[in-house]
C-alpha cells in the first residue's frame, strides 16, 4: 500500500463511517491485507468512542463495515464474509442484468443485422474489462448507424443523387430522410429534435471509438443514442405513412375506442371506451 493510497483510503473510510453515523474515530489502521483473489483487499481495524469496527475495502472491492462488538470476527473472517457477500451480489447482478436496449422503445425487427449488432453490444456492456471493450461498443454503434444509412439510401434510390451524398454518410442521409418523413411547418420542431439526436448518436459513437478514457456510462449512453436514432427514424416513417392520423374521440380525445357498424350499410360509429361518446366516422377509416 502506497502512502498516497493510505491517505486516500483513510479519507474515504472516515467519510463512509460518517455517512453510517459512526463518529469520533480514535484509531484507524490496516489489520491485514489479502491478495488471494488477484487483487489487494484491506481489512482496517477502526476504534471509536462508540465501539470497534472492521472496514473491508480494496481497489476492486466495494467498501463495507462490520461491527466487532456483536460479531466476534477476526480480520480473516471479516474478509471472507465480505468477499462472499460481494461475489453473491456480482452473481445476482449477472443473473438479473437489465438489457440496456429494453430502456428504449426499439422496433428494428425489419433490420435483423442491426438488431443483432445492438443486442450483442448491449450484452457486452455487462462484461467490460478494459478500454478496448468500451471502444468496441462504440465501433458497433457507429457501424450500425452506417448500415442504417445504407438501408435508408436503398429505400430512397434518388436520395444520394439529389443531395450529393455518399452511401456511408449517416448524418447527411438521416437528415435528408427526416425532411422527407416529417414535412411541413407543423413538424419543424420535430425535425430539429430529430436532427439533434442524429448528431448526438454519431458524435458520441465517434468519441467512444477514438478515446481510451471513456467509461461504461459513456458506452451505455452511446448505445442508447444509437438505439434511439434507429427507433426515431422508424417511427418517423410510420408517421409519414399516416399512423399519426388515427381517429380520436371528439369529446375527450381518447384513443381507446371500438369501431362498430352503424344503422345503415356503409356507416361506422366510433364508440369511445373512456367517456361513452358515439360519433359517426367515414368508411375510409
126-159 confidence digits (pLDDT tens): 888 889 999 999 999 999 999 989 888 887 778 8
Q: How distant, in Å, are the alpha carbons of 245, 249, 279, 282 from that of 275?
A: 21, 9, 12, 21
Angle at CA of residue 122, ends 126 and 234, nearest 5°? 165
Q: How confident is the model at residue 105 (pLDDT cuts 50, 70, 90)?
A: very low
Pick from 58, 200, 208: which is nearest to 131 by CA? 208
**CA 49 to CA 23: how far, in whole Å?**
8
Sheet holding 268-272, edge to edge: 257-261, 268-272, 278-281
Q: How distant, in Å, are the alpha carbons of 32, 43, 82, 121, 224 from that of 76?
A: 8, 8, 10, 39, 43
Over range 82-109, report the average pLDDT. 53
**CA 220 to CA 131: how far, in whole Å?**
14
**CA 101 to CA 131: how far, in whole Å?**
21
Domain ranges of the chain: 3-95, 100-244, 246-285
**CA 120 to CA 62: how far, in whole Å?**
28
Is 225 within 8 Å of 197 (Cβ atoms)?
A: yes
Taking the CA atoms of 117, 232, 259 and 265 in sequence, report the sign of the dihedral they define.
negative
Q: Give 114 or 195, the one with higher predicted confidence.
A: 195
**CA 47 to CA 23: how far, in whole Å?**
10
Query: For the chain, what is the HEC assignment?
Result: CCHHHHHHHHHHHHHHHHHCCCCCEEEEEEEEEECCCCCCEEEEEEEECCEEEEEEEECCEEEEEEECCCCCCCHHHHHHHHHHHHHHHHHHHHHCCCCHHHHCCCCCCCCHHHHHHHHHHHHHHHHCCCHHHHHHHHHHHHHHHHHHHHHHHHHCCCHHHHHCCCCCCHHHHHHHHHHHHCCCHHHHHHHHHHHHHHHHHHHHHHHHHHCCCCCHHHHHHHHHHHHHHHHHHHHHHHHHHCHHHCCCCCCCCCCCEEEEECCCCCCEEEEECCCCCEEEECCCC
> β-strands 41-48, 25-34: how paired?
antiparallel
Over range 33-38, report the average pLDDT. 76
- Taking only Cα atoms into account, the Rg of the chain, rounded to an integer number of angstroms, comes to 29
Of 21-35, 45-59, 172-186, 193-207, which one has max mean pLDDT?
193-207
How far, in whole angstroms, is CA 209 from its chain's centroid?
Answer: 17
Model confidence pLDDT, tens digit, residues 84-96: 656 655 555 445 4
| pTM of full prediction above 0.85 | no
Over range 88-106, report the average pLDDT. 51
Amino acid at each position: 500500500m502506497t502512502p498516497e493510497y493510505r491517505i486516500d483510503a483513510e479519507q474515504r473510510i472516515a467519510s463512509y463511517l460518517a455517512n453510517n453515523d459512526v463518529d469520533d474515530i480514535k484509531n484507524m489502521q490496516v489489520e491485514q491485507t489479502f491478495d488471494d483473489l488477484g487483487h489487494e483487499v484491506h481489512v482496517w481495524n477502526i476504534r471509536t468512542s462508540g465501539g470497534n469496527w472492521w472496514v473491508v475495502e480494496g481497489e476492486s472491492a466495494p467498501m463495507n463495515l462490520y461491527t466487532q462488538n456483536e460479531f466476534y470476527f477476526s480480520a480473516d473472517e471479516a474478509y471472507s464474509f465480505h468477499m462472499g457477500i460481494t461475489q453473491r451480489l456480482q452473481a445476482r447482478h449477472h443473473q438479473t442484468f437489465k438489457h440496456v436496449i429494453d430502456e428504449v422503445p426499439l422496433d428494428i425487427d425489419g433490420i435483423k443485422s442491426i438488431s443483432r449488432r445492438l443486442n450483442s453490444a448491449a450484452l457486452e456492456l455487462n462484461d467490460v474489462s478494459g478500454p478496448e471493450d468500451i471502444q468496441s461498443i462504440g465501433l458497433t454503434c457507429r457501424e450500425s448507424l452506417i448500415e442504417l444509412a445504407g438501408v435508408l439510401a436503398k429505400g430512397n434510390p434518388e436520395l444520394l443523387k439529389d443531395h450529393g451524398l455518399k452511401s456511408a454518410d449517416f448524418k447527411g442521409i438521416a437528415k435528408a430522410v427526416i425532411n422527407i418523413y416529417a414535412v411541413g411547418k407543423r413538424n419543424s420542431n420535430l425535425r430539429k429534435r430529430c436532427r439533434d439526436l442524429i448528431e448526438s448518436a454519431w458524435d458520441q459513437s465517434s468519441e467512444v471509438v477514438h478515446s481510451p478514457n471513456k467509461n461504461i456510462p459513456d458506452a451505455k449512453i452511446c448505445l442508447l443514442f444509437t438505439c434511439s436514432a434507429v427507433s426515431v427514424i422508424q417511427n418517423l416513417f410510420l408517421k409519414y405513412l399516416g399512423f399519426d392520423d388515427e381517429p380520436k374521440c371528439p369529446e375527450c380525445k381518447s384513443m381507446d375506442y371500438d369501431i362498430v357498424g352503424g344503422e345503415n350499410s356503409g356507416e361506422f360509429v366510433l364508440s369511445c371506451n373512456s367517456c361513452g361518446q358515439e360519433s359517426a366516422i367515414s368508411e375510409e377509416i
